[in-house]
A and B are shown apart, each in its own frame.
Chain A
Amino acid sequence: MSARPDTLGETRLWLAQRFSAAVLAICVVIHLGGIIMTVQAGLTAAEIIDRVGGHAGWFAFYVVFVLAAAIHAPIGLRTVLSEMMAMPKHHASLLALVFGLFQAALGLKAVWGFYRLGGGA
C-alpha cells in the first residue's frame, strides 16, 4: 500500500521547502554580500542600475531568487496558519498558494523592470 495521495503531496511540499531553503541560503549570502559592498562603496541609484540592471547574469540570479522565495515562504506560511490559527489545512493551503503566486508576480515584475531599466532585453 503506497502513501495516500495527500501524504505524498505533503512529502513533496516538505521536500520543496527544504530544497528551496538550500537555494535561498546561497542566494541570500550573495544578495547580502552585494548589498553590503554597494552600501560600503556608496553607490548611487544610477550606478547600481548600470552595474546590475542590464546584466543578464544578475537577471537570471534574481529570477531564481524570487522563485525560490515564492516556493519557500508560502509553504512555511501554510504550516503557521494551520498550527497557530486553527485553520483547516485546505484553507491554509489555498491561502498559501494565492500568496505564493502574488509574491512571484510582484517579484518577477520588479526584477524584470530593473533589468529593462539597465538596458537589458
Chain B
Amino acid sequence: MSTGSLSVSVWRGSKKGRFADYDVPRRDRQTVLDVVTHIQRYIDPSLSYRFSCRVGVCGSCAMTVNGRARWTCRTHVNQVAADGRLRIEPLRSLRVIKDLSVDMTDFFDKWAKAKGAFEPTATRTNDLAAIQPGDFKRRQASAGIECIGCGVCYASCDVVQWNSDYLGPAALNRAWTLINDVRDGGSRERLAAVAGDAGCHACHSQQGCVESCPKHLNPTASIAGLKRAVAWAALKGTL
C-alpha cells in the first residue's frame, strides 16, 4: 500500500559531483536501501551503490543518511524521514569511487596497521585453551568481537576526519579484543602499533563511534583500555 512519495537527494559523482533529486513512492515498512534500490531499478540505472545480505548482517550497505552513518537495510524510512525528505550520501572519510560506493582500502589497511590479526601460539597438537566465559579478560574481549567491519564508526569519527593517520575506532577496537585474548601471542607488537598520535592517544572520547555503531559496541571503552595498557607498558619500559 503506497502512502505518498519521498523527496530523495542522492550524491552523484565522486569527490566532485552534485546532488540529484528523485521522487520515490513511499511504502509501508520501507527501508532506505529499498529507496536506493528503487531509484537504481526504475529511475536511474547509472546509480552505483553497495549491498549484500539486506538483513543487517554484512554491513555492506552503510551510507550517510540525513547526516548520520547508518546501515540502510536496517533504517526504516519512517525512522529518518518523518517529513518525507531523504538525503543520501556516501560514508564520510573514505574515498568515493562513484555515487554511494566508497573505497574501503584505507579502513582495512589501518586494521592491519593496528595488528588486528590473531597471532596463534598453539598448534593442532596442543589441547584446546580452557577459557572461562566469565573470565575478566574474556568478557572484555567478548564485548568487542561482534564487529563486522562495516565502517560506520570510522565514518562517524571526527578525529578520523582531522587526522588522516588515525587508525580509527574499528581497528583499535579489534586490537583491544586481541590483547585480551589469552591465546594470542602478538600483544607486544600490537601495543607498539596502537600507541601514539596515530593510535589510541588521538582519541578524545567524543563517542561518535558509540553513538553510531549498529551493533552497539563501544570502541571508546576499548580505546581507553588500550590507553591504560600502553601507559602501563611505557612505564614498565616494555613498550
Instruction: Collect the chain A residues with CB atoms within 8 Å of residue B201's CB.
Output: 10-11, 14
Which of B162, B188, B189, B230 contacts A11 (CB under 8 A)? B230
Tell me, rounded to whole Å, the shortest Cβ–Cβ distance linking A24 to chain B: 18
Q: How far, in whole Å, are A83 and B239 apart by their CA atoms in the complex?
A: 26
- What mask results when residues 82 to 101 of chain B are scored 1 for a CB within 8 Å of chain A, else 0? 00000000000000000000
The yes or no answer to A3 lying at the interface (CB within 8 A) is yes
The yes or no answer to B159 lying at the interface (CB within 8 A) is yes
Chain A's interface size range is 10 to 19
Tell me, rounded to whole Å, the shortest Cβ–Cβ distance linking A79 to chain B: 8
The yes or no answer to B195 lying at the interface (CB within 8 A) is yes
Q: How far, in whole Å, are A11 and B235 apart by their CA atoms in the complex?
A: 10
Q: A1-B189, A2-B239, A3-B239 are in contact. Are A11 and B195 (CB under 8 A)?
A: yes
The yes or no answer to A29 lying at the interface (CB within 8 A) is no
The yes or no answer to B199 lying at the interface (CB within 8 A) is yes
Instruction: Collect the chain B residues with CB atoms within 8 Å of residue A7's CB.
Output: 192, 195-196, 199
Q: How far, in whole Å, are A4 and B227 apart by their CA atoms in the complex?
A: 17
A3 touches B162 (CB 8 A): no
Q: A1-B189, A1-B192 are in contact. Are A89 and B197 (CB under 8 A)?
A: yes
Instruction: List residues of chain A with CB under 8 Å of any chain B CB.
Output: 1-4, 6-8, 10-12, 14-15, 82-84, 89
